[in-house]
Amino acid sequence: MGPYANVRVSVEDHVATLEIDHPPVNAIDRETFEGLRAAFHEAVADGRVKAIVLAGARQRFVAGADIHELAAMAGAQGAQEMATATHALFLTIERSPKPVIAAISGRFCMGGGNELAMACHIRIAEENVQFAQREIRLGLIPGWGATQRLPRLVGLGKAVELILTGDAIDAQEAHRIGLINAIVPVGSAVHEAKAMAGRLASLSSVALAKALDAIYTGLDVGYEEGLAHEIACFGEMAETEDMREGLRAFLEKREPAFKDR
């Protein structure tokens, strides 16, 4: 796979690790954005890959948008074009049929970096990371999805508070309110994310994709339609070899050997 602008990619044991490497703070400028988009699409298309880890180089996650590019935006049209392109990529990440885990390291996960993390399915953060949506303090609002994803993750009241104040919270509070899934020691986020991705990669990729489909489709269409979609997905899984293997393995008291079909 690759090479990609400012993104390093490795694949090991069915896990692709995409590491954003744009010194000094891994900000997402146009070149890095295109590199990430190309790398992610290829990871999803790669038959070897069953789970994806998204990380930042040099013990930093992602600083968010390049401030110089924000300052140079050509009015409303330029801002909307940037936001539209970013929304498309983040939706691709969120709707990936392969689980995506954010490995969050460094001192800060703020602005667009936090929005990128929220687009991932699972977030693992080191214990010293602080989280915030600082856009309000720049005379802006979040434009990469925080106004929609943050309330879904932490609840309306807390999301409104964080977006309107721009206040930072530590990893412990982020975990308490549901913004992140796990806290790990400094220096271990990538290792722990790869370990979790490896556990997921040992499961049926068909079942993983159907579970993600049921969850995120349900969020879009509403409760009753979501339940109906779950029924349809459940029925489709009943036709798979992996379901039959999983049930046989359970009855025979052994580990299943999934074939991803």
Nearest residue to 81 via CA among 30, 150, 134: 30
Find all residues with CB under 8 Å of 171, minimum gap 6, and list them. 125, 126, 127, 128, 129, 130, 131, 180, 183
Per-residue pLDDT of the chain (261 residues; tens, 9 = 90+): 668 999 999 999 999 999 999 999 999 999 999 999 999 999 999 999 999 999 999 999 998 888 888 878 768 988 899 899 999 999 999 999 999 999 999 999 999 999 999 999 999 999 999 999 999 999 999 999 999 999 999 999 999 999 999 999 999 999 999 999 999 999 999 999 999 999 999 999 999 999 999 999 999 999 999 999 999 999 999 999 999 999 999 999 999 999 999
Round to whole Å and give the CA distance between 254 and 130: 43
Task: Indicate the burial class of 35 (C-beta count within 10 angstroms; 0-12, 13-18, 19 or more).
Answer: buried
CA dist., res. 190 & res. 124, Å (int): 8
106 close to 59: Cβ distance less than 8 angstroms: yes
CATH 1.10.12 fits 205-251, yes or no: yes
Is 135 a catalytic site residue? Answer: yes
- Provide the pairing of β-strand 15-20 with 7-12: antiparallel
CA dihedral 9, 10, 14, 17 (to 10 degrees): -50
Told to judge if 19 belongs to the known catalytic residues of this protein, a careful annotator would answer no
Global pTM exceeds 0.85: yes
Cβ(174)–Cβ(111) below 8 Å:
no
Question: 251: part of which helix (H) or strand (E)?
Answer: helix 241-251
Residues linked to residue 102 through DSSP beta bridges, in sequence order: 54, 123
Residue range(s) in the chain whose domain bears CATH number 1.10.12: 205-251
Catalytic member of 34, 69, 126, 135: 135
pLDDT of residue 2: 66
The catalytically annotated residue of 19, 115, 126, 192 is 115
What is the topology classification, in CATH, of domain 7-201?
2-enoyl-CoA Hydratase; Chain A, domain 1 (3.90.226)
Residue 65, pLDDT score: 83
Residues of the chain with CATH 3.90.226.10: 7-201
Distance CA 194, CA 102 (A): 10
Beta bridge pairs of residue 20? 7, 56
